[in-house]
Amino acid sequence: MGMPTTHQKVAMVTGANKGIGRGAAEQLAGLGMTVLVGARDPGRGEEAAAALRAAGGDAHAVTLDVTDPATIREAARQVEEGFGHLDVLINNAGISGSGQVSPADAHDQVPSSVEVDMVRAVFETNVFGVIAVTNAMLPLLRRSPAPRIVNVSSHAASLTITSDPNGLLATLLPSAAYAPSKSALNALTVQYANELRKDGILVNAAAPGFVDTDSNNHTGFLTVAQGAAVLVRLATLGADGPTAGFFSEEGPVPW
Ligand SMILES: NC(=O)c1ccc[n+]([C@@H]2O[C@H](COP(=O)([O-])OP(=O)(O)OC[C@H]3O[C@@H](n4cnc5c(N)ncnc54)[C@H](OP(=O)(O)O)[C@@H]3O)[C@@H](O)[C@H]2O)c1
């Protein structure tokens, strides 16, 4: 009698060297998955992967700049060679565009005075990077019995919330870069979900909430672990789970 074959789940998290992505990587490792720590800086990626291993996880750093096609190709090749498949892709890498400034204070994104190049740079990472990484990883995801893709969005993506002058985010400065990039990411999430539904690949967008990270100069009030929880939930959905959805830890977020 042969050994029973078990499928070791492999998860790739982009931008996993710090912040919410690192929190998600920790939780996935804690669930027993092999975690690939995507990081554009090899040193920062290795540091995070080593910390996960020290905590008992199976983690490996993978150099991946989502705006650099050569690193994306090489990352996909490494996953193929080392593991042969991918079960989970969390497209977490993202930039606010305004440095470590709270979104409430991003004066350089106000629509009437924004530099178009800044909008371009934000879309390059938050939108085009997601397409490039997803398409590079899809052949590997197709070899999983239960592939899951999670796109890390934001409540700021919600046109329902942001068009309400008295809404939850009414105190944020209007933004031509970050918020529209996440609305575009939500639209992409639905389009990918529609294409991949017949293949059993579940694709959803996650709103982590306002999380204490470098990206908002630590003005967020949720911990990284709290923010990462919804990413992990969507990364581990059962076969009957949703696709083409937008969720926070509290439940569905309105488009
Ligand atoms: N914090 C919040 O309140 C909040 C709210 C809503 C949504 N989000 C979203 O959550 C995600 C994670 O944000 P965070 O708050 O955890 O921010 P963070 O601490 O600044 O982490 C961002 C991560 O993305 C990486 N990254 C940036 N550009 C990249 C690129 N071109 N290629 C690869 N990696 C890249 C960063 O790498 P480096 O270390 O090399 O810079 C870092 O690992 C983002 O998509 C963000 O928009 C955050």
pLDDT tens column, 104-120? 789 999 999 999 999 99
Torsion on CA atoms 152, 252, 157, 91, rounded to nearest 10: 10
Q: What is the pTM of this model?
A: 0.98
With the most atoms of ligand 1 within 8 angstroms of its CB, the residue from 12, 18, 153, 182 to mutate is 18
Residue nearest atom 44 of ligand 1, based on CA coordinates = 94
> Does residue 2 surpass a pLDDT of 70?
no
**73: confidence class by pLDDT, cuts 50, 70, 90:** very high
How far is 139 from 149, CA to CA, in rounded Å?
13
Residue 101 vs residue 16, higher pLDDT: 16
Task: Determine the straight-line distance between the first and last CA of the chain, rounded to whole angstroms.
Answer: 53
Note the pLDDT tens digit of each residue in 37-58.
999 999 999 999 999 999 999 9
Percent of the chain residues topping a pLDDT of 70: 98
Angle at 24 between CA 125 and CA 255, to 5 degrees: 60
What pLDDT is stored for residue 41 in this prediction? 98
How far is 213 from 151, CA to CA, in rounded Å?
18
Angle at 115 between CA 187 and CA 107, to 5 degrees: 85
**Edge-to-edge strands, sheet with 88-91:** 58-63, 34-39, 10-13, 88-91, 148-152, 202-206, 245-248, 251-252
Active-site residue flag, 178: yes
SS3 98: coil
With the most atoms of ligand 1 within 8 angstroms of its CB, the residue from 13, 14, 20 to mutate is 20
63 Cβ closer than 6 Å to some ligand 1 atom: no
22 Cβ closer than 6 Å to some ligand 1 atom: no
Answer yes or no: are the C-beta atoms of 222 and 210 closer than 8 Å: yes
Note the pLDDT tens digit of each residue in 157-207.
999 999 999 998 999 999 999 999 999 999 999 999 999 999 999 999 999
Average pLDDT value over all residues in the chain: 96
What pLDDT is stored for residue 3 in this prediction? 57
Q: How far is the CA of 17 from the centre of ligand 1 (A)?
A: 9
How far is 184 from 104, CA to CA, in rounded Å?
20
> Does residue 103 surpass a pLDDT of 90?
no
What pLDDT is stored for residue 90 in this prediction? 99
**224: confidence class by pLDDT, cuts 50, 70, 90:** very high
Segment 69-78 shows an average pLDDT of 98
> Does residue 1 surpass a pLDDT of 90?
no
Answer yes or no: are the C-beta atoms of 93 and 66 closer than 8 Å: yes
Which residues have a Cβ under 8 Å from the Cβ of 120 and sit 6 or more positions away?
A: none
Ligand 1 atom with the shortest distance to the CA of 18:
43
Note the pLDDT tens digit of each residue in 204-222.
999 999 999 999 999 999 9
Tokens 């990472």 correspond to 125
How far is 157 from 179, CA to CA, in rounded Å?
5
Which residues have a Cβ under 8 Å from the Cβ of 147 and sit 6 or more positions away?
A: 86, 87, 88, 89, 141, 199, 200, 201, 202
Segment 124-137 shows an average pLDDT of 99
Answer yes or no: are the C-beta atoms of 89 and 12 closer than 8 Å: yes
- Which of 9, 18, 182, 192 is labelled catalytic? 182
Segment 146-162 shows an average pLDDT of 98
